[in-house]
């Protein structure tokens, strides 16, 4: 027994000594490959590779009388306006055989699952990424009847990546690319763009009308040039907060979408978008300039665009400026600029923003448009805050009575650590000489619950002066 204990003790001591010696040499002996690569979350490891798995499921259900039938009906003319009706609901209905059909509902499930396999290389981490995505989106307007009283059923929303309702509920490959590098990373495959479109959202609570229309910020004509898709990209951190990005994107030649009267071009002419980015982040400043040249594979640049933004944070103050410009064939271009400032004083936060847009199509000028917005927020007590705000937009500065506006007040109260209540009242309005109401008062409330574990849910109700109403339920869970 003593001899056995002595042998085991010697082996253990030798093992510890070897491990210590290996550690001195910088050799990892017992550390998991995921830890060695600095990767965490939900992982599976082999001797040389670490597989990260992440995903999310989101569900949303809406019901009420809120969706106008855009084929006709009795909608106020300004419901379709750029400003006044941007977020307004309408209680449109269809009468068939003496029966009124006015209920609307929507059921949407969004799902994605992402796998990233990473290993070490002489040039830095080498990885392969595969992201699968599914979208099931079913919409009923007026219980399935169109303005002519014909039953057409639901509108099914497919996935934008596959362009069509036929993909409703199908799993598609949203991303599939390889990458290698550390401070300089090379990427190739199917993925999003390296273009930086940040530093352009207004600070005021309600935002701005045109900013909302282009997904919160400033933007040129959509998909002119088109980015992402099949790509070859290089990004590099130059140090001191400076970074550069270069990408050759849209190599599959997806057709650009028409916007602001700009016609779509065929895929061959649209193929290939060169993207270059210079950005900075440090010392209270973030800034970027993104340049794009579209259709380069055929040797001719059919369209080009620039997006730039800068944000400065100075103690209690923030300022932001952003602009976008795009140019297309036949004297067609579009521009959009935005400025915003915010100041925080003890319990109060004040913000003011402004925007403008314009351009031309075929040498004919588009209407110049301007908008402003402002808000005051206050933290009343711990967990309770209020916001007061307004925004205004002029769709055509050259003629009168083309303005729309919104004024609103919001109360946010954290009932517990996991439950939050939000209430809002406000009004949309216009000075357009329309035959029906020029204002639409509304009220809405939301109860949000986040018990932890990545699970979130909410139920919200909204009612409008014009008779429209909507109830929305949401639930989501992400994992990584």
393 within domain boundaries? no
| pLDDT digit string, tens, across residues 5-42 | 433 344 344 444 434 433 444 343 446 899 988 898 89
Structure-token pair, residue 321: 């400026």
7 within domain boundaries? yes
Structural domain span for residue 26: 1-30
More confident: 303 or 193: 193
Query: Is the CB of residue 250 less than 8 Å from the CB of residue 225?
Result: yes
Separation of alpha carbons 436 and 400, rounded Å:
19
Nearest CA to 205 out of 439, 36, 377, 362 is that of: 377
43 within domain boundaries? no
CA 471 to mean position of chain CA atoms: 23
Separation of alpha carbons 355 and 339, rounded Å:
6
Mean pLDDT computed over 50-57: 96
140 within domain boundaries? no
More confident: 334 or 78: 334
Q: Does 275 score more than 90 pLDDT? A: yes
177 within domain boundaries? no
Structure-token pair, residue 452: 């932890």
20 within domain boundaries? yes
Nearest CA to 201 out of 193, 210, 190, 192 is that of: 210
Q: Where are the alpha helices (DSSP H) in 52-105?
A: none
Instruction: Give the chain's domain count.
Output: 1
1 within domain boundaries? yes
Q: Does 114 score more than 50 pLDDT? A: yes
User: What is the DSSP secondary-structure string of 121-184?
Assistant: -TTS-EEEEEEEEEEEEEEESGGGB-TTS-B--PEEE--TTT-SGGGTT-EEEEEEEEEEESSE
Model pLDDT, residue 167? 56
More confident: 213 or 250: 250
Query: Which residues are CB-contacts of 184 (< 8 A; sequence separation ≥ 6)?
Result: 124, 234, 235, 236, 237
Instruction: State percent of the chain over pLDDT 90.
Output: 58
Model pLDDT, residue 213? 80
Supply the pTM of this predicted model: 0.84
Mean pLDDT computed over 454-475: 94
Query: Is the CB of residue 63 less than 8 Å from the CB of residue 475?
Result: no
Separation of alpha carbons 467 and 102, rounded Å:
11
Separation of alpha carbons 192 and 188, rounded Å:
11
Report the mean per-residue pLDDT for the chain. 84
Model pLDDT, residue 31? 63
12 within domain boundaries? yes
């Amino acid at each position: 027994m003593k001899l056995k204990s002595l042998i085991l003790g010697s082996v253990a001591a030798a093992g510890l000594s070897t491990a210590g010696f290996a550690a001195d040499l910088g050799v990892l002996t017992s550390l998991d490959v995921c830890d060695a690569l600095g990767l965490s979350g939900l992982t599976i490891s082999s001797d040389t590779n670490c597989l990260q798995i992440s995903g999310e499921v989101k569900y949303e259900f809406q019901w009420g009388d809120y969706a106008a039938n855009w084929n006709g009906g009795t909608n106020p003319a300004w419901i379709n306006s750029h400003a006044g009706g941007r977020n307004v609901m309408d209680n449109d209905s269809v009468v068939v055989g003496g029966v009124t059909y006015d209920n609307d509902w929507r059921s949407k499930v969004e799902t994605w699952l992402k796998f990233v396999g990473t290993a070490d290389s002489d040039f830095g981490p080498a990885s392969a990424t595969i992201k699968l995505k599914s979208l099931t989106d079913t919409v009923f307007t007026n219980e399935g009847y169109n303005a002519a009283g014909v039953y057409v059923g639901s509108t099914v929303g497919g996935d934008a990546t596959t362009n069509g309702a036929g993909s409703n509920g199908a799993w598609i490959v949203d991303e599939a690319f390889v990458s290698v590098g550390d401070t300089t990373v090379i990427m190739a495959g199917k993925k999003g763009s390296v273009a930086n479109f940040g530093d352009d959202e207004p600070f005021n609570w309600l935002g701005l009308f045109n900013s909302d229309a282009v997904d919160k910020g400033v933007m040129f004509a959509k998909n002119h040039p088109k980015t992402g898709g099949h790509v070859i990209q290089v990004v590099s951190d130059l140090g001191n907060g400076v970074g550069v990005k270069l990408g050759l994107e849209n190599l599959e030649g997806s057709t650009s979408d028409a916007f602001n009267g700009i016609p779509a071009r065929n895929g061959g002419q649209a193929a290939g978008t060169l993207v270059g980015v210079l950005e900075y982040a440090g010392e209270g400043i973030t800034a970027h300039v993104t340049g794009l040249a579209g259709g380069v594979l055929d040797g001719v640049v059919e369209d080009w665009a620039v997006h730039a933004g800068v944000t400065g944070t100075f103690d209690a103050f923030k300022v932001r400026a952003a602009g976008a410009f795009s140019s297309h064939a036949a004297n067609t271009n579009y521009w959009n600029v935005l400025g915003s400032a915010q100041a925080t004083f003890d319990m109060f936060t004040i913000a003011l923003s402004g925007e403008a847009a314009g351009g031309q199509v075929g040498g004919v000028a588009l209407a110049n448009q301007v908008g402003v917005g402002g808000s005051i927020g206050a933290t009343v007590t711990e967990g309770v805050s209020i916001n007061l705000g307004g925004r205004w937009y002029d769709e055509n500065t050259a003629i009168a009575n083309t303005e729309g506006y919104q004024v609103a007040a919001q109360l946010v109260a954290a009932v517990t650590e996991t439950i939050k209540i939000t209430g809002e009242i406000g009004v949309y309005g216009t000075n357009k000489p329309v035959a029906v109401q020029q204002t639409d008062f509304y009220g809405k409330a939301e109860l949000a619950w986040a018990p932890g574990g990545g699970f979130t849910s909410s139920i919200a109700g909204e009612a409008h002066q014009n008779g429209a109403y909507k109830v929305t339920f949401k639930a989501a869970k992400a994992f990584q």
